[in-house]
Amino acid sequence: MSIVMRVPESPNNELLFCGFNQDFACFAIGTKSGFRIYNCDPFKEVIRRAEQAGGIGIVEMLFRCNILALVGGGLNPRYPTNKVLIWDDHQTRPIGELSFKSAVKAVRLRRDRIVCVLETKVYVYNFSDLSLEDTIATAKNDLGLVALCPSSTDMVLACPGLSRGSVRVELYNIRRKTFINAHESDLAALALNLTGTRLATASDKGTLVRVYDTQTGALQQELRRGADRALVYSICFDQLCKYLACSSDKGTVHIFKLSDGTSGGPNKQGNSQGASGSGSGSGGSRKQTSGPGSGKDDNAKSTLRFMKGILPKYFSSEWSFAQFRIPGYSKASVAMKAICAFGAEENTLLTITADGKFLKCNFARGGDCAVESFAKFAKSNEGKSSGSGNSQSQSQSSGN
């Protein structure tokens, strides 16, 4: 369930990477001079490693333990970009490495596996001895899309398939593969829930998020982020699989309520060969003011939904019941890139931005959510820095 963001190198921004760990309790950043780890609640810097020159482009955590996976990054990488170093922070040194012929796009960890993503391959290794367990061929995957279930009892992996817009789901425990034709256009984001039973996908059109059953490939829900094209940066499930959140370059994080999955959603015909869909759509935005306790219809729906068999699919999609608008959002700023996760407190959402802001809000009442706490953790074009491990948290009256 790790959620990560690669940040293009900029002279006015020290960040190269941001990513939440598997349970969203912490997040790590890679910078031009090392890496740091922060606790989310309460917000606090807990580790800072910047003893040597050189950038860190990927920092993948394994829950809260001392083992990390590091990959060099930026114009002056500390380590080769085609190597994954297994780092023991108690010893403050690498204890193993994996080398490849091309640059590493992403890394995911669980207690028994290491997953490394290259442009057209996904490699799965045994953590204990770094032996190769599986190799998966994918379509071109410059974004390094992959999702790995962290559950100790279920080993589920999702990655792009060989055809455009398709997803391959590996259910290793039951030795089964599911192929899902999720979108007609290229994939932009993937996410698995904690137990690996649900998969969420978005395409590069960015108007819809689709939720699938990983064993059958059946489409369970179709969630509408908005009407206009958008670049989706992250999708995440909460720990109990009650909610899903989605961030994009529109500067707004949308929060949806998930169904229990028993109805099969808008398309019950999905199977192990895939549930096909267009991944497109257009139309106006819609606000919902009722909160998550208002019943089964928390996600807003069009008033013309009763005509869904006649009108375009757009009118039967579910809209978010809560939205968080990133303060200071500007289309021209690096701040427009952000990833989100659910907080440990009930009905809380965490957002970190590419210009070094940590934001927390509460979505219990639905509608527009206000900033509940704020911290600055990295230098950016504003020239400010966190400076220490203190949270610098402050209350805000509005998220707009």
Q: Give the Cα separation of 148 and 166 in Å (integer).
A: 17
**Token pair for residue 75?**
């114009």
SS3 316: helix
| pLDDT score at 5 | 75
Going by C-alpha positions, the residue among 17, 89, 109, 82 that lies closest to residue 49 is 89
Tell me the mean pLDDT per 10 residues along the chain, length 400.
Answer: 71 87 94 94 91 87 94 94 95 93 96 96 96 97 95 93 97 95 96 96 95 96 91 95 95 93 40 37 36 47 46 65 88 72 96 93 95 88 42 36
Q: Give the Cα separation of 270 and 266 in Å (integer).
A: 10
Going by C-alpha positions, the residue among 359, 333, 326 that lies closest to residue 247 is 326
**Token pair for residue 237?**
């499930």
CB 350 within 8 A of CB 38: no
Identify any residues that bridge with 38 across adjacent strands, giving them in sequence order.
27, 45
Identify any residues that bridge with 35 across adjacent strands, giving them in sequence order.
30, 49
Tell me 10's DSSP state: B
- Residue length, the chain? 400
Determine the residue type at 139. A
Q: Where are the domains of the chain?
A: 1-101+373-400, 105-325
| pLDDT score at 7 | 76
CB 17 within 8 A of CB 27: no
* Residues sharing a CB contact under 8 Å with residue 19, sequence separation 6 or more, in sequence order: 2, 3, 4, 5, 27, 28, 29, 58, 59, 60, 61, 339
CB 321 within 8 A of CB 288: yes
Taking CB atoms within 8 Å and a gap of at least 24, the contacts of 381-386 are 381/10, 381/12, 381/13, 381/333, 381/334, 381/355, 382/355, 383/12, 386/45, 386/356
* Residues sharing a CB contact under 8 Å with residue 332, sequence separation 6 or more, in sequence order: none
Going by C-alpha positions, the residue among 358, 371, 362, 366 that lies closest to residue 399 is 371
| pLDDT score at 4 | 75
CB 133 within 8 A of CB 124: yes
SS3 250: coil
Q: Which fold has domain 105-325?
A: Methylamine Dehydrogenase; Chain H (2.130.10)
| pLDDT score at 53 | 78
Going by C-alpha positions, the residue among 145, 226, 254 that lies closest to residue 192 is 145
* Residues sharing a CB contact under 8 Å with residue 352, sequence separation 6 or more, in sequence order: 5, 18, 20, 27, 338, 339, 358, 359, 377
The CA-atom distances, in angstroms, between 286 and each of 157, 226, 250, 257, 319 are 34, 8, 15, 15, 7
pTM metric for this prediction: 0.82
Q: Give the Cα separation of 363 and 349 in Å (integer).
A: 7
| pLDDT score at 303 | 42
